[in-house]
Structure 1
Amino acid sequence: MTKRLTVLATGGTIAGIAGSAIAKDYTSGQISIEEYLEQVGGLGLAAELSGTQIANIDSADIGPEVWGPLHAAIVDALADETCDGVIVTHGTDTLEETAFLLDLTLPATKPVVLVGAMRPADAVGYDGLRNFANAVNVAGDDDAAGRGVLVVMGDRVFGARDVRKMRTRGTDAFRGFPRESVGLVSPSSLEWFGAPWRHGDKAHFGWYDDLPEVAIIYAHAGLTAAQAVRQIGSDIRGVVIAGVGEGNMPETVRQILVAKCAQGLAVVRASRADEGLVDREPEDDANGFVAARALNPQKARILLQLLLAEGVSDPAAIQRAFDGS
């Protein structure tokens, strides 16, 4: 049976134009969803596609003003009995953040797949059409349901929790941690590496148009307490420290954050390293800190925002949420 898939477009490189097949520079978000679906219409994909333009921008500009309409459109599509799955076209720079936010706030009843490209549409070796054809294969597969939000890039399927952009160039720019890819896909084949992992189909969190402000402080050699304090404005409800090594920071910065914790600021220790767990340290209890575990700083920020929005501020309760993410 031909699957009916809803395509929601937000722009990015997959809809970008360079004006030359070999140019380095290009402009994201130049092709409309109508033009794009006309392009892919000649691929012979085994799906009926309908599209809506949510935005047409560089993903560096993605934020709440796009997330809100995008989330609402996906909710509507999932509730539509004529829709079998959703594909979101998205720029790669913040793709992992959008995917993780959606994974936490959407039910897992039908497939939701994010897809992008590393090369603009008029470049030699444009990867967007193949990635999109792969996304259609995944979104149309019955076994994709119950896996939460998925990301398809470079013939691999990633879970939203795991996926991260690891390289600035090349079509193999994405990896997963702690799970690598959860499936391999081509336009004509799909191999899953395990059973669906979302037990129950409800969203983990409600949707909030205004999330609490959480800052990310990037640790580096020579970071001073004064520099850290300048990044913690009066409206900041939480801080994620992109720490060195396993979430470490200079002692003077730690002391400042301990004092801020005592005043009600939520502090999560993550790592600026590409991979690795950040486990709890014996001092975390006394400091009031939370360990990010497998989440990188940008994903830790999103989870902390949602927890604070739901009124969860106790460090032990926040830690339980990170342990279970």
Structure 2
Amino acid sequence: MSEPTQRKPTIVVIATGGTIAMRIDPISGGPVPTLSGANLVAGIPALGDLGEIIVEEFANIPSEQMQPHTWLQLAQRIRALTSVDAAGARLSTRQRPRGIIILHGTDTMEETAFFLDVTAPTDVPVVLTGAMRGVGPRPGWAAQYRGCGHCGRSRQVAARRPGRDERQHSFGAQGDQN
């Protein structure tokens, strides 16, 4: 008889844009969001060790363009991922992701985290992560994309398995940046 295979946990990565997804536009000389969530996740090889990674391309906008209607859509998506299925039944722990990482710009990261904490309460860890520098010929910016190496703390928190006493409590939205 073969051993039953243990299902790997799911981590959902939601890309929203921001500096973490920016490169310098050679024509304008300014930063523009060009890297997709898939590009960013491809630069984090260790992320796959945590489980099945699902990338959702939610938006690719500068953080200052995050508005209340965008926050509302993001909160609705998080509730859909963590609460109920299409038939309205509560999702089981096996159906819900172990954690959610939101790749986000730093300008409005705090506001987004606060909004999500209030409007999308969940016991699934939700971690917003961003970067102060993108990719391109600018002082302090990387010459080429090297992946989202600083996402290490985000993936650790998102993949965290709560202890018995923590299971009934919301983790709340959290922020992480380099």
Q: TM-score, normalised by structure 1?
A: 0.42
Q: Measure the CA separation in 2 of the matches of 1:108 and 1:42.
A: 25
Matched letter for residue 54 of structure 1: F
Q: Measure the CA separation in 2 of the matches of 1:146 and 1:127.
A: 33
Determine the structure 2 residue equivalent to 1:50: 54
Identity across matched positions, percent: 33
Task: Say if 1:55 and 1:66, in contact at 8 Å, map to a contact too.
Answer: no
State the superposition RMSD in angstroms.
Answer: 2.7
Cα deviation, 1:42-86, whole Å, max 9, x if unaligned, reads: 766423210111110101111023112211111111135241111
Question: Aligned-pair distance for 1:37?
Answer: 2.3
- Unaligned ranges ≥5, structure 1: 155-325
Cα deviation, 1:12-34, whole Å, max 9, x if unaligned, reads: 001011268xxxx6424211122
Q: In 2 relative to 1, CA 134–128 (structure 1 residues): closer, same or farther, beyond 3 Å? A: farther
Cα deviation, 1:235-269, whole Å, max 9, x if unaligned, reads: xxxxxxxxxxxxxxxxxxxxxxxxxxxxxxxxxxx
Q: Measure the CA separation in 1 of the matches of 2:10 and 2:151.
A: 15
Q: In 2 relative to 1, CA 45–18 (structure 1 residues): closer, same or farther, beyond 3 Å? A: farther
Q: Measure the CA separation in 2 of the matches of 1:27 and 1:92.
A: 14
Q: Measure the CA separation in 2 of the matches of 1:111 and 1:76.
A: 14
1:109 aligns with 2:123: yes
Rg comparison, structure with higher value: 1
Q: How does 1:88-237 map to 2 (within 5 A)?
A: 88-122=102-136, 123-124=141-142, 129-143=148-162, 146-154=170-178
Stretches of 4+ moved more than 6 A in 1? 125-128
Q: Measure the CA separation in 1 of the matches of 2:46 and 2:153.
A: 15
Task: Say if 1:99 and 1:149, in contact at 8 Å, map to a contact too.
Answer: yes
The number of equivalent residue pairs is: 150
For 2:31, what is the secondary structure of its paired residue?
Answer: coil
Q: Measure the CA separation in 2 of the matches of 1:60 and 1:94.
A: 6
